[in-house]
Amino acid sequence: GAVVSQHPSWVICKSGTSVKIECRSLDFQATTMFWYRQFPKQSLMLMATSNEGSKATYEQGVEKDKFLINHASLTLSTLTVTSAHPEDSSFYICSARDSQVQETQYFGPGTRLLVL
């Protein structure tokens, strides 16, 4: 299957700082990417849909000014957690859909964020 990478895998930061997470589709182009968050022992929750060249669409309850999403190319989307707080500590996972083959979403390995 198609490969999606995320960087970094782990990040620990101080409260109040900003953290950027990258999501890349390695062998296909993705006009649409998705950002999910997963808390311990819970399922994945969709945060936002990232569209190449346009603004992201955020799910209800997700602050767009806190979770900045940029999808500047067909292979890269970034999620920036601004002014991170301990409650933002979570497992952040991105996924991407192949623009040519619309049927399947492929997920990245996830980024674990710990805010101290």
Give the interface with other proteins as residue ranges (CB under 8 A): 1, 4, 6, 32, 34, 36, 43-46, 49, 57, 91, 93, 95, 102-110, 112
The residue (of 14 and 101) whose beta carbon lies closer to other proteins is 101
Of residues 22 and 82, the one with the C-beta less far from other proteins = 22
Taken as a whole, the chain contains a residue count of: 116
Strand order in the sheet with 76-81: 4-7, 19-25, 76-81, 67-73
C-alpha span between 104 and 19 (Å, rounded) = 29
Smaller CB separation from other proteins, 17 or 39: 39
At its nearest, how many Å lie between other proteins and the CB of residue 55? 14
The CA distance from 60 to 32, in Å, is: 19
